[in-house]
Amino acid sequence: MRLTDEIRHFIASPVMIIVGTRDEANRPTIGRGVGARIPGQDCVEVILSAWQWPETISNLSANGDAAITFSRPSDYVSYQLKGSARLRSADHDDLELSRRYQAEIFAMFDGLGVPADVVRPWLVEREAMVASLDITELYVQTPGPRAGTAARAGA
């Protein structure tokens, strides 16, 4: 599943990142990402805290199934990517990406009138891990008549 340039740009912008997983009994869990990149045409990497989101990390380790939603708080434009993920420890470059992301997301929320103290608890990089998702499905999740519909993939 190749991402369009529009969606690639969107994911790289300051958007909220929600990583949804499931356990062996199909109970859902979520975690928040603290940075994302697109290393290839059909893969996205998301940085998240194993310390803050241990159930999410455990589920990714156990089955790899994930649905990652990227949402822009200013207008709620949202996309969800589904697929299979594998984990690795974050390296120096990943932590630098996370810090840039955090600075951008703090600035974006500040522009919306949301104080940093409200946002800070969401953005933890302690025990940072990277989930590399091989994308198999892509959906529009922006509220409205197209919510839940398959998004157009790139050529």
CA dist 42 and 9 (Å) reads: 14
Contact 63, 22 (CB under 8 A): yes
pLDDT at 128: 98
- Are the beta carbons of 45 and 39 closer than 8 angstroms? yes
The string of pLDDT tens digits covering residues 8-61 is 999 999 999 999 999 999 999 999 999 999 998 899 999 999 999 999 999 999
Query: Residue 153 above 80 pLDDT?
Result: no
- For 23-91, where are the alpha helices, taking DSSP H only? 54-62
What is the pLDDT of the chain when averaged over all its residues? Answer: 93
- Residue 141 corresponds to which tokens in the numbers above? 């999740």
Is the pTM above the cut of 0.75?
yes
Categorize the per-residue pLDDT at 146 as very low, low, confident or very high, splitting at 50, 70 and 90: confident
Residue from 2, 17, 21 nearest 123 by CA? 17
Q: Is the pLDDT of residue 145 over 90?
A: no
Kindly report the number of other CB atoms within 10 A of residue 140's CB atom. 19
Query: Which among 152, 40, 19, 26 is positioned nearest to 87, based on CA atoms?
Result: 19
Of 19, 17, 131, 23, which Cα lies nearest the Cα of 85? 131
Alpha carbon of residue 33 to chain centroid? 5
Would you say residue 155 has pLDDT above 60?
no
| pLDDT for position 147 | 84
Across the range 83-108, mean pLDDT stands at 97
Arithmetic mean of pLDDT, 74-79 = 94
